Amino acid sequence: MPQRRQRKAESKTDPMKTLQRTLTIVKPDAVRRNAIGDIIEQFEKNGFRILAMKMLEISKHQAEQFYAVHNAIHGSDADDTARFELSFFFAGYELAQ
């Protein structure tokens, strides 16, 4: 009997609970190389969906808070950091559902 209840609960899993979000920053050198389109294309080819996009210039201090190594992109490394980083750059209404 408990197994049936458990199966029913599992079958009603909320798909939003499995949704993961991340922040990706295209760094200045990649922008200067006009690589933005290529980077976005790679995300889409790999099944990622872009919910929001912004082009802005951040201060050196802000940049130092988000990445220390100068690579082409930055991606959040965990759910908690993704929430913090997304809220730094985007208001809640800017993130599509």
- Residues with a catalytic annotation lie at 74
Structure tokens that stand for 78 in this block: 């965990």
Closest to 86 measured CA to CA, from 40, 33, 34, 50? 50
**How many angstroms from the chain centroid is the CA of residue 50?**
8
The C-alpha angle with vertex 49 and arms to 63 and 66, in degrees rounded to 5, equals: 10
